[in-house]
Structure 1
């Protein structure tokens, strides 16, 4: 015998209120299985199961028409879930953007007139972001007389905000978008590049040959970094081997720049590395610091490793120790 349950029991089983159960019955979503002579509604286990589905769909944000179609099997649960998943993902993206704006306002004590700009920045399309960065590099590299390959390399350093960015990535994008539109930042960076590449030696640095050497040096540095971070002691044969190859690479790099190959000078320079002096020198290099700021923000947005002067200095100290050990 199919037992029928009074509406009060159904409410306790499904978690829906009595008024909600009556509402869904009146709307034709889940009709009662039967009605007593006194007008009391009764529901069997199948109707209760449908009401439990109704409650789940309601809690997931489904509207009445969608619920009605699923219960009536006019629409599949998969179709409804896919449609609502897209809506939820859109809402999450909007909430992340709002949270990024609000956190930036709180952190920077942003004036009211800039709030609208911040919201506009996080709401930009991929094409709008790309055009903003292109205008920035057009300005910075205007009139820069270097190899076209180097210009392309510079312009390739641009942000790619993922489809589901984190709050940190959105905050970095807000800051970057403000930075690349800041007249002082743009002007100082353009002046830096013109100073750096305004001489024959500077132009040589931007040639494909020197860029290839720089990439070779970067790969060797990453090998040194991996060994240092893995705890290889500076007096280990592996450390000494890497340090010797770094010396040879530095000497070759300087020879390509000056025409003079001096391995002893390269060795003395590397072995005499001084972190404090290096930090003072870096702090005085305005243009370099501007590029580090830009590169750091782009790396945060793209989810790639960010420049870390502290880690770089630790590797240089490790290499210096390895070279000094050889002479003892």
Structure 2
């Protein structure tokens, strides 16, 4: 014969309150196995197991009807879990969005009207986000007389917010959405591109040939970065070889632009790199900084490596030191 337990013992075993156990009995979820002559409810071990399951399902957000179906074997635990997992994931996305909005409000002065806008920005659909970025690039590149391939390259720099973005990604999206809607930012970046590519030399920079050369320089830089981060000494033959190839490629790049090939000048320029002077020059380049901010935010949203001027400067110092060494 199964041992029966009074409701107080059942409450201690399941972690449910006595009133909750009575409620589930009255609602027909888990009825007691027996009633004593005095009308006291008693439960066996199977009842206790069912009540423990009820508590778990309720903690996970299941409603009474769902619990009844599972206990009656009319629905599987897996089906119930799938439904509630979707609900929980949707709630998590909403919480992430709300936290991003709240953090933005805490971080900067925000009006009541802006709060509604911030919430709208994080709630945008993929299509809405894509249209916003497309409209931004339509404005920035309107009338820009350069090779179509370069325009496509610019327009391809766009955010792709994942289905389950982190708070950091949502905050980056809020800032990006704000700056691409900002007339001052849009106008300044547009003016920068029109100045940069308003000359014949500027147009040449945007040709497929020059973009291919720029890509070769990027690959060389990545090789230098990998060697520097791996601890290759700047006075090693490997460092000297990388720096010499970078100098030669830089000289070729300048020659393609101006017709003047001067390898010694390229070496001197690289060997004379100065971090402080470089930072000061970079700070004065308004258009470059605007594009850098856009690119950084896109990188955060897309989960890709972010531009890091300090790391770049460290690699340039490493190559400069390699070129200053006596190759003999």
Q: TM-score, normalised by structure 1?
A: 0.98
Q: What residue is the counterpart of 1:310 in the other structure?
A: 310
**Which residue number in structure 1 is paired with residue 202 of structure 2?**
202
CA distance in 2 between partners of 1:322 and 1:271 (Å): 8
Deviation at 1:94, TM superposition (A): 0.3
- Whether the aligned pair in 2 keeps the contact of 1:140 and 1:190 (CA below 8 Å) is yes
Structure 1 runs not aligned, ≥5 long: none
SS of structure 2 residue aligned to 1:140: helix
Aligned positions of 1:113-128 closer than 5 A:
113-128=113-128
Q: Where does 1:21-100 land on structure 2 (aligned, <5 Å)? A: 21-100=21-100
Aligned to 2:111: 111
CA contact under 8 A between 1:172 and 1:300: conserved in structure 2? yes
Please show how residues 141-220 of structure 1 align to structure 2 within 5 Å: 141-220=141-220
Deviates more, 1:36-45 or 1:317-326: 36-45
2:3 maps to 3
The aligned length equals: 328
Structure 2: which 5+ runs fail to align? none
Could you tell me how far 1:260 is from its partner in structure 2? 2.0
Cα displacement string for residues 235-288 of structure 1 (whole angstroms, at most 9, x for unaligned residues): 011100100110111011111111222111111111111112111111111100
1:240 touches 1:326 (CA, 8 Å); kept in 2?
A: no
Q: What is the aligned partner in structure 2 of residue 324 from structure 1?
A: 324
Which secondary structure state, in structure 2, belongs to the residue aligned with residue 180 of structure 1?
helix
Query: What is the CA-CA distance between 1:113 and the residue it aligns to?
Result: 1.9
Q: Any runs of at least 4 consecutive aligned residues in structure 1 with deviations exceeding 2 A, and if so which?
A: none
DSSP-derived class of the 1:326 partner: coil
SS in 1 for 2:181: coil
Q: Distance in 1 between matches of 2:125 and 2:113?
A: 22
Q: 2:225 — aligned with what?
A: 225
TM-score by length of 2: 0.98
Alpha carbons 2:99, 2:167 under 8 Å: kept: yes
Report SS of the residue matched to 2:42.
strand
SS at match of 1:42: strand
**Per the alignment, in what secondary structure is the counterpart of residue 325 of structure 2?**
helix
Mapped to 2, the partners of 1:189 and 1:327 lie a distance apart of 44
| Equivalent pair of 2:240/2:327 in contact (CA under 8 Å) | no
* Alignment map for 1:271-282 (pairs within 5 Å): 271-282=271-282
Secondary structure of 1:251's aligned partner: helix
